Structure 1
């Protein structure tokens, strides 16, 4: 089963419910064959955007285009989009094969062609031996695969995914993330996924669109968003970050920020007289001996946790306040203990200037 992807464009899309704007002036491009994830906390507008793309919610303003054709007013059944819902929405009285065949029956496809497509869809999601079972006889992961097969069996223009992995436990969710990514590569169709899970967004997506309170705040590759967040919200929502604020100037190599008696060096330009820096916990090292970095501060461990693969420390520093640090357990230079004095260091490239969030 294979089909060319389709390009989708949102142009200034807004959705209001009375005076409340669930989505404000969202513009977004989804390239042919791309896996895009809409990421944000509850109430950010991501599901509203997905429902507008699907045709279940009508935009208050703006346009939605598929391959350059305006589909804003087109009803859902004429958009030819596959959709996988959070709860799978399988028919309990039908077998797996009957569930998958349902969209083909609605389209009045002939029996021979219908059966061939169902076999191909079962093979695609590796459920060839489960055709005669009912949903209640399947695990959560198997039900999710059936829902995917049903959404793909009629060769839709693109696939919409509404938090399809959220009902699964952590281990199974990680396994199915890998399967979903491999499925996307095999069929080459455009996928649009909604999630509030940051790791899922980073793992699956070619590009991620981050939303907050109805605004589309930043769009980019997972690497670009994680390494170069534009705002405090993006830095803090996509992973965790330390924030350092202070008086700043620009030198030949970037920012020189002063906080109390401590000087912090970072790349970029200082916005006005003050700067806000984002510093990821895993980019801070515990220094031993005379080891040096561009930035060095001293402090004491205020709290720590062992996570198997590493330690998470909270280190109190005189000028920068508490700094969160992630260390690989197998190469930690010290055994963490409350009150232990430590030296922290990080390179000039580790911190990035970000903007404060709009009020």
Structure 2
């Protein structure tokens, strides 16, 4: 099986309407050769409609799909040479593993000898050569998913499109398959476009993530960039969990300012760009894992007193809900092995975080 170079894909003003309902609203996105890009968003955000438009199963109302700069919008699915893995795998139950993988090659009229060689290579790639004679019902869910991947890759597609490929698996197996899929992407060198609503899956597998909401592209970037520097409340809240602090800007200075929230003043390092003007309102996103419980005598740039409302033991950490006078309820996630106190309901605590832990975000457009 050849490790062909990936192809670049471009979406230009992609829009899809169903009567008065706009499923996809003016989405433009560039996907580079060999990238693993995930379309991430809640149900109804437009991500699957975009994937179906890329595949050719949905005709856009406006806009274009470009492959290596060539407009392929009018082409039917069978002329696009894209591999696709569906949520339910869509394997033929009466065919063996080898016959399922060979099916796209039979449709293309490939000779038996060439088919057999390609099927062996594809099954080797997903480590299922020893199961070639089995039926799908004789395989586990993870093995069926790998058969579907082999079938989608066996004909050397220009792109591989993945529609929630891991959603039918249990949590442990899903984590294992995430690692395998990422390794497979590196080996074959093709462009992968994945659709999911699972934030952890998107963060762990993707080179870049495109976050969608109500049919619009909200923000696209590398996983670390989106998690650490979300632009909007929605991105901060959807990609992981976040506390939101809103107050009035005081004492702006190069690289930072003070935010007044009730009787509290919080130090904020806003990073590059112009400091907000004094007297304006600012909204901050503060990730729960960036909050510490301060031991007696310990200090931090920002300190707030509170009491524990509830807590949960997660193995590697404690998840806490903490009531504060000025900042309302805050959520904190602490490593359990080095917590300075044993969590208990109504326990008074001091919270601390650094000036660069919270980042300014914009309110979402109406």
How well do the aligned residues superpose, as a CA RMSD in angstroms? 0.8
Instruction: Establish whether residue 286 from structure 1 lines up as the match of residue 289 from structure 2.
Output: no
Residue of structure 2 equivalent to 1:108: 109
Match of 1:260 among 258, 262, 282: 262
The 5-angstrom pairing of residues 1-359 of structure 1 reads 1=1, 2-249=3-250, 250-268=252-270, 269-270=275-276, 273-359=280-366
| CA distance in structure 2 between the partners assigned to 1:25 and 1:232 by the alignment | 21
**Secondary structure, aligned partner of 2:178:** helix
The Cα of 1:288 is off from its aligned counterpart by 0.9
The Cα of 1:255 is off from its aligned counterpart by 2.6
Whether the 8 Å contact between 1:270 and 1:353 is mirrored in structure 2 is: no
Q: For residues 269-308 of structure 1, what are the alpha-carbon distances to aligned partners after superposition, in whole Å with 9 as ceiling and x for unaligned?
A: 3377000000000000001122111101111111111111
Q: For residues 238-276 of structure 1, what are the alpha-carbon distances to aligned partners after superposition, in whole Å with 9 as ceiling and x for unaligned?
A: 000000001113222313110111011112233770000
| CA distance in structure 2 between the partners assigned to 1:98 and 1:133 by the alignment | 10
Runs of 4+ in structure 1 over 3 Å off? none
| CA distance in structure 1 between the partners assigned to 2:36 and 2:255 by the alignment | 36
Whether the 8 Å contact between 1:86 and 1:163 is mirrored in structure 2 is: yes
**TM-score normalised by structure 1 residue count:** 0.99
Q: For residues 299-353 of structure 1, what are the alpha-carbon distances to aligned partners after superposition, in whole Å with 9 as ceiling and x for unaligned?
A: 1111111111110111111100111000010100000011111110000010000
Q: For residues 60-98 of structure 1, what are the alpha-carbon distances to aligned partners after superposition, in whole Å with 9 as ceiling and x for unaligned?
A: 001110001100111000000000000000000000000
| CA distance in structure 2 between the partners assigned to 1:266 and 1:166 by the alignment | 39
Gaps of 5+ in 1: none
| CA distance in structure 2 between the partners assigned to 1:255 and 1:141 by the alignment | 51
**Secondary structure, aligned partner of 1:275:** strand
Larger deviation, residues 339-348 vs 260-269 = 260-269
| CA distance in structure 2 between the partners assigned to 1:143 and 1:224 by the alignment | 34
| CA distance in structure 2 between the partners assigned to 1:337 and 1:39 by the alignment | 36
| CA distance in structure 2 between the partners assigned to 1:96 and 1:327 by the alignment | 46
**Secondary structure, aligned partner of 1:105:** helix
| CA distance in structure 2 between the partners assigned to 1:292 and 1:45 by the alignment | 46
Whether the 8 Å contact between 1:9 and 1:30 is mirrored in structure 2 is: yes
| CA distance in structure 1 between the partners assigned to 2:298 and 2:65 by the alignment | 55
